[in-house]
Structure 1
Amino acid sequence: MKVGQWSWVFNNVKTHLDFKTVMGISRYLTTFRAATLKAITASPIDELFRRISPLGNPSISIVPILDQWVAEGKPVDKKHHLQLCIKLLRQYKRYSRRSRYFPLAASDVAVRLDLIGKTHGLKDAENYFNSVPKQLKGLEVYSSLLHCYGCFRSVEKAEAVMQRMRDLGLDRCIVASNSLLTLYYKTGNYKKLDTFRHEMEEKGIAYNAHTYCICLSAYAAQCNVDGINNILQKAESDRGRTLPWNFYTVATYAYIKVGHMDKALAMLKKFEALSKGNSGAYNQLLRQYATLGKKEDVLRVWELYKTNMKVYNKGYLAMISSLLKFDDIESAEKIFDEWESHVPATLRYDIRIPNLLLGAYSRKGLLEKFERIVNQIILKEGKPNARTWYFFAKILLMNNEMGKAVNAMKEAILISQPWWKPCDESLAACLKYLKEEGEIDEAEKLINLLVDKDIISSEVQVKLLSYVKDGNVDSTLDGLVILDGSALHQGGEEADDDGID
C-alpha cells in the first residue's frame, strides 16, 4: 500500500467504525482493580456484575436488572454486593453506572458527589452538594467535595471547604489533607503546601505513604534535593509504617528529576525488592531502569515479569516503550509480534501499542515498516486515536504529501483528549503549507481548532492569524517560531507523565 492511499483507507475505516465517537483506549487492571475484581469473582455476585457491566449506554438504569435479580430470589446486599460493583465500575471510569436501589448513606452521597463531578462537571456537583440533607454532610461528604475542587484545580473553593471542615472539627482527616496537598502541588503553590504541612504536624495528623509521595513530587518539581532527602529520611524512620513499592517509584523519579542517578538507582533497588507478583510494579520497574539506561536490567525484569505472572497490555506498553528508549527497534518489534499473537484470544486490541512503533518509524522515516503496522491495524479493526493520526501526518509530511498531512493533522486534533497536543514543528509545517498554497480559510480553521481544543492561547491565535493573513512566508515567522515549547502544553510524541494522581 502506497502512502497516498492511507488517507482513503483510514477514512473508510473511520466511517465504518465511527472513530470520532470511540475513544477506545483499553484500561487494564491495577493492583486495586485486581483486588476488587477478585472479591467479585470469588462470590455469587459475579453473575450480577456480569449482567451490569456490559451495558454500553450510561443513561440506561441498572435498577431493572436489580429488580429482575431479586425477582429470581437471589440476594442483594448493599455493602457486600452493590458497593463492590460500584467500586469496580468507578475504577473502569464507568462513572454514570450508579443505582439508587437502596436509601443513600453518607458514604453513598460522597461517592455520588464524586461521580457527578466527573460526569457532569463542577457546577452540578455543587448543586448536588447543596441539596444533600444537613445530617448527611459529614466528614465523607466534605472530603468528597474538597476532592472535586482539587480535580478542577479550584484552589480558593477547596480552601473554603477546608476552613468549613475546621469550623466543624472535621479537619483531622488524612484523605482530605492529602487532597489539598495534591492541589497545592499540581498548581505550584509550594509555599502553601509547606504551610499546610506544618499545620498538619501541629495538629498531630500522621502522614501516610501518599502524603510522603506528594511531598517528594513537590520537592522534585522545585529541584530541592535537601527537601527530597528530608522527606525520605522522615518516611523511612516513621515507626510502625511499612512503605509500599509505589513510594519508592516516586522517590526514584524524584532523584531522576534532580539528576542524582546513583540515589535513584538505590531507590529502584529497594523498589524492586517489594515488587514481586505485582504487574503495576513491574511496569514501573521496566520504565525506570530504561530511564536510567540499564538495558540489562530491563531485559532481566521482563523475564521475571513473564515468569511470575501473565502480562497484560500495560506490560507490553511498558516493555516496548522501554526498548525504544535504547533505540532498539528490532527488539521492540519482536515484543510487538509476541503481543499481537495474543490478540484477540487472550488480550484486547490496544491502539497505544502499535502507536509506539508508528512513532519510532515516523521519527526515522521507515516508510515500509510504517505501512506494515498500518495494514495490521486495519486487519485487526483497531481504533486509531489522536497519536495514530499524528504519526500518520508526520510520515506524510516527510514524504511531501502535504495536503493529506494537513487532513491527518486535523483529524488528530479533532479527536484528541485534553492531555494530548501535537508538536510545534509539525503544526508549523501544516500552517506554512496552507499559507503558501493560498488556503487562508483552511489555515484559519486549523488555528481556530487549536484554540477550541485548548492547544494554543488566544494570544498565540492572534499572532498566527496575523501570520497567515499578512506575513511573508520567508519573514521572521518562517517555520512559525511562535509555536515554540511555550506555545504548546505537550508534544504529540510524549508519553503520559508518571506523577501523582
Structure 2
Amino acid sequence: MAPPAPSVGPRLLLRRLLSTATEAAAETPAPTAPSSAAAAKPAKQDPRLLYRRLSALGSAGEGSVSRVLNKWVREGGATRSDDLVKHVKELRKYKRHAHALELMDWMVNARGMNMSHTNHAIRLELIYKVRGLEAAENYFANLPDPAKNHRTYGSLLSCYCSAKMEEKATNLYRQMDELGIWSSTLPINNLMSLYMKLDQYRKVVSLFEEMKLKNVKPNSLTCCILMTSYAALNKIDDIEELLKEMVEKDVTLGWSAYSTLASIYVNAGQFGKAESALKKLEGLISAHDDRQPFDFLLSLYASLGNLSEVNRVWNVIKSKFSKIYMEWESNYETFDVKLTNMMIRSHLKVGMTEEAEMLVEKVKENGAEFDTKTCELFLDHYMGTEDMNSALNWLENMTKLSKKAEKLDQDRIYKFQKYFEEHKDADGAERFCNCLRTLGCIDGKAYESLLRTYLAAGKKSCSLRQQIKNDKVEICYDIGKLLKRLGDKGR
C-alpha cells in the first residue's frame, strides 16, 4: 500500500495511503500480428502472447475480451486456469476492472472452469467495481456455503468499506467474528480505513485495542493507518510510542510507513524528525522497488525546502530509471504527466519558477499535454506570489484542456476579482469572466465585479446587458444600477 503525500488533510492522506502500490506508466504494447504459420500452429503457446492481446484492447468495450479469447482458442491457444487468473490479476492491477471481470465470466461461462475460494473473492470485488454493490451482494448470497469463507466474507467487507456503508460493514465484521472466520489483519485494516474515511479517528484506535485483546498481529499498513489517525487527533507524541510497540511486536515496517511518518512530521513542522524518517525510508528501498518511493522522497524533500536533497534524489531517479527518464523526455507516447507534475511541484516549492516553466515547454515540444493538476500547481504558485497576470494565463490554459477542471473555488474567484477591481484592469476582468463561463461558474456576483471594474477603469459598454442575458444570469437591482452607470440602459 502506498504512503500519503505531504501537506494534505486526513481524508486525502488516507486515499493516497490506500492507493495501489504501483501505477503503470503505460500498458504493455500490442504485439505484432502473428504470421499465418504461427497462427496455424497447434498451440502450446506462450501465455504472455495472450496477455499482450488482452492488454492491447485498451479501453475497448464489453465483448472485446471474449472475442480475443475465442479467437485465441480457434488458433489452438492454451487456456490454463492458472494462466488466465494471472491475466485477471494483471488487468486488475492496471485498473482494467471490466476486462478482468469479463475474463473471469468467460472462464466460467464459456469454459466451465470452477472458481476457487480465492477466485470467488476476486470476482466478487470486480463485480462491485463494475456492476455495483447490489450485484456484489447477490453474488455473495448465491455462493455455495463452502465458498463463504474468510476470503469471500473479507471481499464483501472490503466492498462495504469502499462504499462507506458503515452499518453494513460493522455488522458483517461482527458476523465474521462470531463465525470465527477472520484470520488476518485484513478485515480490521479495512474497517480502520472506513473509519478514517468517515473522520472517526477514535474508532480506529479502539479497533487497535481490539486487535491487541484478540492477539491479532498488526502489519505495516495497520501502523500507517494508526499514525494517520493519531495525527488527525493531534496526538503526534503517541506516534513514537506506537513505533516502539511495532518493534516489540516484531512488525516489519516498509518504506511506506516511514513515508507516512515523514509526511506527518512535515505537517507538524517537526522538520528534523521528518528528515530522519526520510533517511530510514531511503534505506528500506530495495533493488526490486519501482520509482514510487523515490517520488515520495522527492516530494517530501521539496516540502522541507531542501533543494540539495531534491536534486540528489532527482539524479538518482535519472540514473536508476534512465529508460523511463529518457522516454519521459523524448517520447510522448509514454509520457507520464504525474512525474512532470511531481517535478514542477518540487521546483515551485523552492522558488525555481523558470525551471518549472521549462518543464512545461519540454512537454509541449514532445507533443504531449499537461493536465488540470499542472495548471493548478502554477495557478496556486502565481496567486501566492501575487502575480495575477501569470495566474490568469494558467487559468486560461486550464479552460483549453480537453478534460475540463471542476468549478473554480470561491476563494480563488474572490482574489482574482479583488485584484482586477483594485488595478482597474477591465481586460483582465473580461478574460477572467470568459474562464468562469467556460468552467460553468459565471454568475451575478461575477458580473457585478466585472461592471465595477469597468467603472473603475472608465470603460463603457453597450453589450454587457445582452451578454448577461445570454448567460442566463438574472439582472438584479444592483446589476441594473451598474449597467445604467455604464450607459448600458437596454430594455
Asked if 1:125 corresponds to 2:149, the answer is no
Asked if 1:76 corresponds to 2:79, the answer is yes
Q: 2:285 — aligned with what? A: 275
Q: 1:254 — aligned with what? A: 264
Q: 1:328 — aligned with what? A: none
Q: 2:193 — aligned with what? A: 182
CA separation in 2, counterparts of 1:253 and 1:474? 44
**Letter of the aligned partner of 1:271 in structure 2?**
L
Kindly report which structure 2 residues correspond to 1:279-298, keeping only aligned pairs within 5 A, or say none. 279-298=291-310
Report the Cα offset of residue 205 of structure 1: 1.1
Asked if 1:59 corresponds to 2:59, the answer is no
Deviates more, 1:112-121 or 1:175-184: 112-121
Q: 2:41 — aligned with what? A: none
Task: Flag the 1:422–1:138 CA change in 2: closer, same or farther, 3 A.
Answer: farther
CA separation in 1, counterparts of 2:65 and 2:240? 50
CA separation in 1, counterparts of 2:331 and 2:296? 23
Q: 2:17 — aligned with what? A: none
Asked if 1:415 corresponds to 2:415, the answer is no
Report the Cα offset of residue 94 of structure 1: 0.8
Q: Is there any run of 5+ residues in structure 2 with no aligned partner, and where? A: 1-19, 29-44, 108-112, 454-491
2:395·2:435 contact (CA, 8 Å) conserved in 1?
Answer: no
Report the Cα offset of residue 303 of structure 1: 3.5
Task: Flag the 1:341–1:472 CA change in 2: closer, same or farther, 3 A.
Answer: closer
1:264 is paired with a residue of what secondary structure?
helix
CA separation in 2, counterparts of 1:203 and 1:182? 19
Report the Cα offset of residue 105 of structure 1: 3.0
Report the Cα offset of residue 291 of structure 1: 2.6
Kindly report which structure 2 residues correspond to 1:36-47, keeping only aligned pairs within 5 A, or say none. 44-47=46-49
**Letter of the aligned partner of 1:90 in structure 2?**
R
1:62 is paired with a residue of what secondary structure?
helix
Equivalent of 2:149 in 130, 138, 149: 138
**Letter of the aligned partner of 1:150 in structure 2?**
C
CA separation in 2, counterparts of 1:254 and 1:271? 14
Report the Cα offset of residue 233 of structure 1: 0.5
Task: Flag the 1:390–1:284 CA change in 2: closer, same or farther, 3 A.
Answer: closer
Report the Cα offset of residue 218 of structure 1: 1.1
Asked if 1:87 corresponds to 2:89, the answer is yes
1:190·1:218 contact (CA, 8 Å) conserved in 2?
Answer: yes
CA separation in 1, counterparts of 2:331 and 2:410? 35
Q: Report the RMSD for the aligned CA atoms in angstroms.
A: 4.5
1:252·1:268 contact (CA, 8 Å) conserved in 2?
Answer: yes
Report the Cα offset of residue 168 of structure 1: 2.2
CA separation in 2, counterparts of 1:414 and 1:341? 23
1:150·1:179 contact (CA, 8 Å) conserved in 2?
Answer: yes
Equivalent of 1:50 in 45, 49, 52: 52
Deviation string, structure 1 residues 256-293 (Cα, Å, up to 9, x no partner): 23333222222222222221423322222222233333
Q: 1:342 — aligned with what? A: 330
1:415 is paired with a residue of what secondary structure?
coil
Kindly report which structure 2 residues correspond to 1:61-460, keeping only aligned pairs within 5 A, or say none. 61-79=64-82, 81-98=83-100, 99=103, 100=105, 101=107, 102-239=113-250, 241-277=251-287, 278=289, 279-307=291-319, 309-311=320-322, 341-344=329-332, 348-353=334-339, 377-378=363-364, 380-387=366-373, 398-399=388-389, 415-416=404-405, 422=408, 424-428=410-414, 449=440
Report the Cα offset of residue 213 of structure 1: 1.3
Report the Cα offset of residue 366 of structure 1: 7.8
Task: Flag the 1:356–1:412 CA change in 2: closer, same or farther, 3 A.
Answer: farther
2:99 is paired with a residue of what secondary structure?
coil
2:217 is paired with a residue of what secondary structure?
coil
**Letter of the aligned partner of 2:315 in structure 1?**
E
CA separation in 2, counterparts of 1:472 and 1:381? 36
1:390·1:422 contact (CA, 8 Å) conserved in 2?
Answer: no
Kindly report which structure 2 residues correspond to 1:449-488, keeping only aligned pairs within 5 A, or say none. 449=440, 467=445
CA separation in 2, counterparts of 1:366 and 1:196? 46
**Letter of the aligned partner of 1:265 in structure 2?**
E
CA separation in 2, counterparts of 1:288 and 1:405? 25
Report the Cα offset of residue 215 of structure 1: 0.7
**Letter of the aligned partner of 1:233 in structure 2?**
K
CA separation in 2, counterparts of 1:73 and 1:468? 66
CA separation in 2, counterparts of 1:70 and 1:216? 51
Deviation string, structure 1 residues 327-372 (Cα, Å, up to 9, x no partner): xxxxxxxxxxx6654325xx712334555688879x99989996x7
2:328·2:336 contact (CA, 8 Å) conserved in 1?
Answer: no
Report the Cα offset of residue 169 of structure 1: 1.9
**Letter of the aligned partner of 1:292 in structure 2?**
L
Task: Flag the 1:119–1:381 CA change in 2: closer, same or farther, 3 A.
Answer: farther
CA separation in 2, counterparts of 1:261 and 1:358? 22
2:262·2:278 contact (CA, 8 Å) conserved in 1?
Answer: yes
Task: Flag the 1:233–1:438 CA change in 2: closer, same or farther, 3 A.
Answer: closer
1:219·1:225 contact (CA, 8 Å) conserved in 2?
Answer: yes
Residue-pair matches, total: 394
Deviation string, structure 1 residues 386-440 (Cα, Å, up to 9, x no partner): 23565798989944998x9887655669634xxx774544434678899x9999x
**Letter of the aligned partner of 2:94 in structure 1?**
Y
Report the Cα offset of residue 211 of structure 1: 0.9
CA separation in 2, counterparts of 1:183 and 1:74? 43
CA separation in 2, counterparts of 1:83 and 1:76? 10
Task: Flag the 1:406–1:197 CA change in 2: closer, same or farther, 3 A.
Answer: closer
Task: Flag the 1:264–1:405 CA change in 2: closer, same or farther, 3 A.
Answer: closer
1:184·1:192 contact (CA, 8 Å) conserved in 2?
Answer: yes
Task: Flag the 1:444–1:125 CA change in 2: closer, same or farther, 3 A.
Answer: farther
